[in-house]
Every structure is written in C-alpha cells, then in structure tokens.
Amino acid sequence: MNRAAVLLWLLIQVVPGPIHAQPGCFGSVESRKANAARRQRVLDFVDEDDGGITVAHTSNTWGEPRALRVPGIRLLEVGPAGATVSVSVSPETKGCRSGHRQLRVDDALPGQLRVLALLPRWRVMLLERRGKLHFVSVSGGRLPRWLMAWRVDGTLAPDIPATPWSPPPPPEPPPLDPSLQY
C-alpha cells in the first residue's frame, strides 16, 4: 500500500464524516426535508437578545422549552452555521461513531429529536420531540429566559352579522312599603 493510501485510510478513520453519512444517528436527507417542512409550518421565528429567547409559533402543543440531557451527545459550541457536538457511544447512540460532529437546523438527534434553531448568543440548541420543546445548552452556559408567542393560524370566531346595540332598560324601582308612609 502506498503512503497516500495509508494517509487517506487514517484520515477516514480519525476525521468524522458528514453527519448525514450516519442516517440512523442524525437523520437522512428525507428526514431533513420532513423536519424542514414541519419547522416552516409551525415556527414563525426565533429571536435572541440579552433578555432571553423569543419563540413565535403556531403549534398548539408547544410550551416553554425544558432543559434536556441527550445521552451520548454533549453540546460543545453553537455558531450561526452549526453546532459542534461530541458523540460518545452509548445504547442511545447505537450506530453512531464517536467523535465531534457539526449539526445544522433540521438535523435529527437520537430519541426522535429534531433541531429547530441554533442560538449562538445563548449557546443553546432548540429541539422538538413529540410536540414538545426542549433545549440543550453548552456546559456552564447561562440558562435563557423564554418568551413564547403563539400565533393563531386562521380565524378565532365565525363572522357574526352586526346588530344595532342599545342599552338595557333601567331597572324597575322597588315598591314602597305602606307602613313607612306618613
């Protein structure tokens, strides 16, 4: 075997490949498309500032995100282009290779988790699982305050024809007691 082939073989063994080469671990091209469609349907926007994170959505099952620990996955850093995670082999990450990986919005994580947003200011990754919101933060990072803004998708009440309004009639005065008369 020549030296270049040996170096290539070593590089393949040491440097983790794209996360999508492990569809059982981080999702497939099809699951990314499905995750993107769901995200675009229910998530209007996510905004982060010094006061916390605002999530505007149309989901009727989402509440304030809860902190979550994903066995075998540790969030190392979050940037606008991706989140770096450390993967260690565990029963939950069966089929995953150990090492560092880059995650993006719409990727999947073991345990039916989908990545909804990467929030570098707060060093947080916003996730959804089974209609509930969760988040994973970088170890030692500040925990964000969450503001949930729900937008109704559609109308709240049927159209009711306007009717003229008039105040109710005044109440009848009580009858006079004859014993109190002069």
Unique residue bearing structure tokens 């990314």: 32
pTM exceeds 0.85 for this model: no
Q: What percent of the chain has pLDDT over 90?
A: 39
In tens, the pLDDT along 131-174 reads: 999 999 998 888 999 999 988 766 666 666 667 777 888 888 88
- Cα dihedral across residues 150, 154, 159, 162: positive or negative: positive
Who's near 22: CB < 8 A, 6+ residues apart? 95, 96, 97
pLDDT greater than 70 at residue 182: no
Of the candidates 135, 154, 113, the residue with the CA atom closest to the CA atom of residue 26:
113
- 104-109: list long-range contacts, CB under 8 Å, 24+ apart: 105/36, 105/39, 106/27, 106/32, 106/35, 106/36, 106/39, 107/19, 107/26, 107/27, 107/32, 107/35, 108/26, 108/27, 108/31, 108/32, 108/35, 109/26, 109/70, 109/73
Q: Check residue 79 and give its pLDDT.
A: 86
In tens, the pLDDT along 57-73 reads: 999 899 999 999 888 88
| CA angle at 45 for the pair 143 and 148, rounded to the nearest 5° | 50
